[in-house]
Structure 1
Amino acid sequence: MSPPTSRRVGRPRAQERPASGLEPRDEVLSAAAELFTTRGYTATSTRAVAERAGLRQASLYHYFDGKEAILATLLEGTVRPSLEIARELVARTEAPPEARLWALCRSDVMLLCSGPHNLGALYLLPEVQTEHFGVFQTLRTELQASYGELLSATEAGAPLGTEELSLRTDLVFGLTESVILIRRADPGRAPQALAEATADAALRVVGVPQRSLARLRREGQQLLAA
């Protein structure tokens, strides 16, 4: 979301919403996030999104080509921040890869749990597998590859063959994204506790011994604080 700014002039509104300070484009995204995750993507029309954003439907098309473009933008926004952090952690070669992997898992879960709406649940939509969401899929694949790169550098991951390494990467990445389902079933779950428990579990999947977790957790927290 963009920082609060003044509204763009010249686009008439269908109705007034409580002043949010958001640009109309961001109001559309906010409204769509709410409706897609509460009413469902298929059941939500562009007219409903526009009305919830306080815009005329024609004005919505000034910002987005249609519902698929809105969904694609929302999904890409759930991955880009994690990918930026992943790139930084992959480059921090002076730190133990296990600590960097812990930090990536924790930050990824926190980002998936941030915001009032469980946007990660939209990953499960069959529409997301189509070519319209190619950018999102590319970003998500790169994020998963960062998990694999860190995992392969760990003491437990280094000896693994290609097939086993791929499997472990899929397991760790899937474990991280499983918080989407946990949050849907229990929206009140504390994100920080969930994030740290998931990161701990990810290292156990990799093969890190239990006795090393406390140290790696501290080091991972220091990486994120930096």
Structure 2
Amino acid sequence: MSATTGRRVGRPRAVQRPDSGLAARDELLCAAAELFTLHGYAATTTRAVADRVGLRQATMYHYFSGKEDLLAELLESTVTPSLDLARRLLEDTSRSAEDRLRELCRSDVKLLCGGPYNLGALYLLPEVRAERFAVFHRNRAELKAAYGELLAGTEDCADLDGDALALRTDLVFGLIEGVILIHRSAPGRDVTVFAAATADAALRIAGTR
């Protein structure tokens, strides 16, 4: 989640809480992340999100129109940084495709499993299939395509036909997103070690090890 500076004025808090150093909008996103992942999306109300940071519910609507807006932004925060990195890696022809693929895998796992809340678990919500989350799905599809393009540039995948490359891409991308479930069952695992091991496994699937 991107931090903004300063607080919006003229929106008093219902309850005074210690200053987190975050703008109200970012506090609301953090509260939503905590409540959605710990108590479930369906069970969390907008009032609960506002109460978590000491804001009135009406104040929350100054920043977000409802739970779907909060969820959409949280989902996009789990894919946009990886997509930005993937675009840069695709342009960086000075490095081997294998090295770039490894970096993307490692960074993506860190993003999905980093932070205090398992935001990747939000992918599993049935609500995410709604049209409201089309931007997230488009970005995710572009990210998957970038994985495929990097795979196609590796020595062992360069001669694969379209169907074979698509299968290899599905397997690698599925492994990366599969860390969501692994992380949920073992949240205490060192994320850096986990990311490196997952990247190594992804390259084995790709046939580059």
Q: TM-score, normalised by structure 2?
A: 0.97
- Is 1:146 aligned to 2:166, yes or no? no
**Distance in 1 between residues matched to 2:142 and 2:6, nearest whole Å:** 35
Q: Which residue is equivalent to 1:89?
A: 89
Q: Which moved more, 1:28-37 or 1:2-11?
A: 2-11
* 1:73 pairs with 2:73: yes
Q: What letter matches 1:161 in structure 2?
A: D
Match of residue 186 from structure 1: 186
Q: Structure 2: which 5+ residue stretches go unaligned?
A: none
Supply the RMSD in Å over aligned alpha carbons. 1.1
Q: Is the 8 A contact 1:2 1:22 kept in 2?
A: no
Deviations 1:126-158 (A, max 9, x none): 110110100000111111110000001111111
Q: Is the 8 A contact 1:4 1:21 kept in 2?
A: no
Equivalent residue, structure 2, for 1:43: 43
SS at match of 2:79: helix
AA at the equivalent of 2:150:
L
Task: Give the corresponding residue for 2:165.
Answer: 165
**Cα distance, 1:57 vs structure 2:** 0.5
1:121 has 2:97 as partner? no
Aligned-pair identity (%): 64
Per the TM alignment, residue 58 of structure 1 is displaced from its structure 2 partner at its CA by 0.6
Which of 172-181 and 116-125 deviates more? 172-181
Three-state SS of the structure 2 residue aligned to 1:116 is coil
Question: Residue in 1 aligned with 2:22?
Answer: 22
Is the CA contact (8 Å cut-off) linking 1:46 and 1:67 kept in structure 2?
yes
Corresponding residue pairs, total: 209
Deviations 1:64-93 (A, max 9, x none): 111001100010011111111111111111
Residue 7 of structure 1, CA deviation? 2.2
Letter in 2 for 1:171: L
Deviation of residue 15 (structure 1)? 1.1
Question: How many angstroms apart in 2 are the aligned matches of 1:155 and 1:44?
Answer: 48
Q: Secondary structure at the match of 1:195?
A: helix
Q: Give the equivalent residue in structure 2 for 1:58.
A: 58
Contact 1:16-1:54 at 8 Å conserved across structures: yes
Query: How far apart, in 2, do the equivalents of 1:4 and 1:148 lie?
Result: 34
Task: Give TM-score, length-normalised by structure 1.
Answer: 0.90
- The 1:2–1:103 alpha-carbon spacing in structure 2 relative to 1, beyond 3 Å, is closer
Secondary structure in 2 matching 1:178: helix
